[in-house]
């Protein structure tokens, strides 16, 4: 079967199901596993590569208001690939979507095996974290300029990792907040995973936070518990690496005893 993926998370699902050799086309953002970067691209972004965070936010809002996409589909390129299966994705339940992809690709057995292993890892971390004596309060930020709290699956990841999310709600959209709300909550940990940004790129926006009145008064800042993560690779993609994200988040919140089973570099910690 010839498969084309229209989202990075879908690409990761396809490969996790052992179907990499059937993948013939991907998006401009697909970069994991590394072997997919040489495949033909069937999309391109309308966001300038040098756009700042505020500019990106304004562009996303404008596109949403006008119901136009942030990406363009290269229809001739897609037709040239002659796909038997095209995989796209809305906000989803990762395990259910993986099973649907497996069924569509005739790989039900591989799907059952892959999903069972992801569930095992999730339950392992969740059980360890439930037994811990301390559960730090957390605010998960998905954007810095302007501030957005985490939504969708990320508050659930915080809870499974033994934290207490103070603003974001599981299953709800991420939403814009003011610093005053962050100050009022005063979490033990501020965890930053900007949508589509690496940890290094997100860190370039930290001076914007440091200039805000009251930022230095936050408990998390005083205790050096502001953590910047690779949102592009992990927390913002609804794919199998959300389980990696959970493992890493648990290790960062609690340290020894809840370490990740995988060891890819993901985060850098700021000094507030």
Per-run averaged pLDDT (10 residues), the chain, 272 residues: 95 96 97 96 88 88 80 94 92 86 94 96 96 96 95 96 96 93 96 95 94 94 95 93 96 70 43 40
| Domains 3-89 and 135-269 are alike in CATH topology | yes
> By three-state DSSP, how is residue 12 classified?
helix
Q: What is the DSSP string of 114-133?
A: HHHHHHHHHHHHHHHHHT-S
Domain ranges of the chain: 3-89, 135-269
What pLDDT digit, counting tens, does each position of 142-159 carry? 999 999 999 999 999 999
Q: What does the pLDDT read at residue 164?
A: 97
Q: What does the pLDDT read at residue 64?
A: 80
DSSP run (H or E) holding 164? strand 164-165
Q: What does the pLDDT read at residue 188?
A: 97
Q: What does the pLDDT read at residue 256?
A: 55
**CATH code matching the domain that covers 135-269, chosen among 3.40.640.10, 3.40.50.1980, 3.50.50.60, 3.30.379.10:** 3.40.50.1980
Q: What does the pLDDT read at residue 264?
A: 37
What's the pTM? 0.89
Q: What does the pLDDT read at residue 272?
A: 40
Q: What does the pLDDT read at residue 213?
A: 92
Top-level class of domain 3-89: alpha beta
- Six token digits for residue 107: 């790989």
d(CA 4, CA 39): 10
């Amino acid at each position: 079967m010839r498969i084309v993926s229209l989202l990075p998370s879908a690409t990761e699902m396809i490969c996790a199901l052992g179907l990499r050799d059937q993948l013939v086309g991907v998006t401009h953002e697909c970069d994991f596993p590394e072997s997919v970067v040489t495949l033909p691209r069937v999309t391109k972004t309308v966001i300038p590569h040098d756009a700042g965070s505020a500019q990106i936010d304004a562009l996303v809002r404008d596109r949403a208001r006008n119901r136009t996409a942030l990406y363009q589909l290269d229809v001739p390129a897609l037709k040239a690939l002659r796909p038997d299966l095209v995989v796209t994705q809305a906000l989803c339940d990762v395990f259910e979507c993986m099973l649907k992809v497996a069924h569509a690709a005739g790989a039900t057995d591989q799907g059952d095996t892959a999903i069972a292993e992801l569930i095992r890892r999730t339950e392992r971390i969740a059980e360890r974290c439930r037994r811990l004596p301390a559960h730090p309060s957390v605010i998960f930020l998905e954007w810095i300029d302007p501030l957005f709290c985490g939504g969708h699956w990320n508050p659930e990841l915080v809870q499974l990792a033994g934290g207490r999310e103070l603003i974001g709600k599981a299953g709800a959209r991420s939403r814009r907040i003011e610093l005053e709300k962050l100050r009022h909550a005063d979490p033990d940990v501020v965890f930053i995973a900007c949508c589509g940004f690496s940890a290094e790129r997100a860190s370039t926006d930290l001076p914007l936070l440091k200039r805000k009145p009251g930022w230095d008064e936050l408990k998390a800042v005083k205790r050096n518990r502001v953590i910047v993560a690779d949102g592009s690779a992990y927390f913002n993609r609804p794919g199998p690496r959300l389980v990696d994200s959970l493992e890493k988040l648990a290790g960062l919140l609690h340290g020894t005893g809840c370490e990740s089973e995988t060891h890819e570099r993901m985060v850098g910690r700021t000094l507030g």
